[in-house]
Amino acid sequence: MVFRSGAKALAFAVAALVCAGNAGAWAQSEGQGAARSAAPPPLEAYGATPAIEYIELSPSGDLIARITVVGETRAIAVTRMTTGEHLFAADVGDVKVRDLRWIGENRVLVVTSQTRGIAMLGVPRSELFFGQVLDLEKKKLVQVLDRTPDVLAVLYGSASIRTTQDGEALFVRGVNVTTDQIDLHRIDLRTGRGRSVAAMDRETDDYVLDGDGEVIAMARYVERTGRWSLRLPNKGRGFHEAWAIDAPVDTPSFYGMGRTPRTIVIGADRPDLAQQETDSETSDVLFEVNVDTGEWTRLPFEHHPDLLVHHPQTRLLIGGARTEEDGVRYEFLEPQASRRWRSIERAFKDKAPRLVSWNDDLSLVVVFTDTGEAGQYQLVDFDRGVADSLAESYPTIAPEQVGAVRPIHYAAQDGLDIPGYLTLPPGVSEPSGLPLVVLAHGGPASQDVAGFDWWAQALASRGYAVLQANFRGSTGYGRDFLEAGYGEWGRKMQTDLSDGVRWLAGEGIIDPARVCIVGASYGGYAAMAGLTLDGDVYRCGVSVAGVSDLRRMVNWEARQENRNDSQTVRYWNRFMGAARLNDRALDALSPAHLAAAADSPLLLIHGKDDTVVPIEQSRVMAEALRRADKPVELIELQGEDHWLSRSVTRRQMLVETVRFLEANNPPR
């Protein structure tokens, strides 16, 4: 099927929250670009959170729900597709939206989070999740787990939606403050009240529901011993241990239902059943397990997927997706889905479309593209053979204002091939002698990917080339590449970045005398380490929510979990190369202990509500540099978390970062 652009715009305006586009799915950008100024947009255009955070089709496809953002205001809006009628619109409050899903045709689940502590229960400040169900007929929102006896109205883990014999159902786990149980509850969609349907405790790591909402598998993890076990239903009642493995750090994982109603998908290391997949960054292989017989079967994916795709109605497995150098690629096991997605790839050739939402009969699909543009949502209608524009992520950034993103590869000092991306200033096609910003990703077990990156594009718009290197220890390049980062925190993971600088200089693309380093989380550590451990490369550094004292950080994690040998502590020690908790060898890799070696100015930015890396880490670094009489600035973001979720503070971070870069490494 060949799609043509729709002749009709889909009206999406809701009061002042205008988020709609016009017709012409892939022809529209030229007309829009001509109407916009070729001058760089203000930094606020990049720093603002995307205009659309979530967008979901209803089961029939007749309705569409979305979370829109204007400034600091987030709102949920529901529109009838055929008529453009606005069925509901309301602010969701000063919270962060984390999920949006339909429960049948008349209700919508909205999951939000806030940074809170529960003093009476000894729960430290952390990111707590809450659910609300919107009833479209009554125009009413109800709180999930509201008035459930002795149970906190806080979600423990993700929510599950099923179509049962008794109608649409929502299942969540909730903490009982009296018994300390974390049972699975079925939610009364009219009141939000929960009813316990499966007993679970703190060692219940995960579960899988069948299509009717029955628990067909549970995982148990005992952190003290590091033992993970698969529990399957007995023929009579209850569950039995079907398989177990010692997993001190990397536990097996559930991925929902399999291709048939009585199977589940597990990612696990089973060398007795299948060899390791070389393109996976873990030893896990994806298996389909029959819950009645206990039989394990390897799933027939050609390449190990990063995520799985389940049918929107049956919840059965139909495919998977894998992040590749030029974008996300899909592999479907279900024939109809495979045919339809191939037609989408043909229509959006060289755009690497991403699946956002499907209706139940797969006749409508929302896709997202951000290759050579700032992000477009398109609605593909297979029956009509058209694709209509729904919305833009960054509506004030035209395609010609987006810098070219080139995949690159270079050799590290030890010969390891390092992949990454180079973003050029808009309009530059033959780069020479450019100023450079090294933008290091977090994790470290994460990766930079192709497409529009708001932070990299903002820096490029100011005249900088931007290097995003997937240093060793990054995900997406197989197990050997990931494990090459074990014990290399501050060592080869760091020099992989500066090796990229030297390669770009050798190619004549950048001026090696005009380079700064920026990053958040682990990338924030890399920025500080660039000035203290890898000197003479960078003229300045900007660390956002970075780790400055490794030993202090791991000790804090242990206190948070009240365990000196938790799974989290074991994870940190693996990458940092520590032999044990409080290993003083980590001080030699900690920028806060090396402040005297800092040879360039440093800007520290940190959210006060960060529950992943405490703000203490930036305060300790600032104080160490001041004592060493080194130039440093510290900016604390009020009400901001680890992920820069708030528009106002995200923009503040970006404006302050560019101000600092331009002062210490002028782009022209």
pLDDT tens column, 516-533: 999 999 999 999 999 999
Residue 32: what pLDDT? 35
pLDDT tens column, 186-202: 999 999 999 999 999 99
Quick check: 13 pLDDT over 80? no
pLDDT tier at 548, thresholds 50, 70, 90? very high
Residue 65: what pLDDT? 97
Residue 35: what pLDDT? 36
Residues of the chain above pLDDT 90, percent: 75
Residue 18: what pLDDT? 30
Quick check: 466 pLDDT over 60? yes
Give 572 or 613, the one with higher predicted confidence: 613
Positive or negative torsion for Cα 500, 505, 510, 513? positive
Residue 281: what pLDDT? 58
Mean pLDDT within 462-470: 97
Structure-block tokens of residue 434 = 């450019």
Mean residue pLDDT across the chain: 90
pLDDT tier at 15, thresholds 50, 70, 90? very low
Quick check: 6 pLDDT over 50? no
Beta carbons within 8 Å of 121's beta carbon, 6+ residues apart = 177
- Count, in order, helices (H) and strands (E) of the chain: 11, 36
Distance (Å, rounded) from C-alpha 194 to C-alpha 192? 6
Residue 347: what pLDDT? 93
Give 331 or 72, the one with higher predicted confidence: 331
Mean pLDDT within 399-427: 96
pLDDT tier at 540, thresholds 50, 70, 90? very high
Beta carbons within 8 Å of 248's beta carbon, 6+ residues apart = 226, 567, 570
pLDDT tier at 488, thresholds 50, 70, 90? very high
DSSP for 410-421 reads: EE-TTS-EEEEE
Mean pLDDT within 392-405: 95
Mean pLDDT within 350-358: 95
pLDDT tens column, 204-220: 999 999 999 999 999 99
Residue 34: what pLDDT? 34
Quick check: 555 pLDDT over 50? yes
Give 574 or 318, the one with higher predicted confidence: 318
Residue 117: what pLDDT? 80
Contact 396, 41 (CB under 8 A): yes
pLDDT tier at 25, thresholds 50, 70, 90? very low
pLDDT tens column, 153-190: 999 999 999 999 889 999 999 999 999 999 999 999 99
pLDDT tens column, 603-657: 999 999 999 999 999 999 999 999 999 999 999 999 899 989 888 899 999 999 9
The DSSP element (H or E) to which 523 belongs, if any, is: helix 522-532
Buried b (16+ CB within 10 A) or exposed e, 405-430: beebebebeeebebbbbbbbbbeeee
Quick check: 424 pLDDT over 70? yes
Mean pLDDT within 476-503: 94
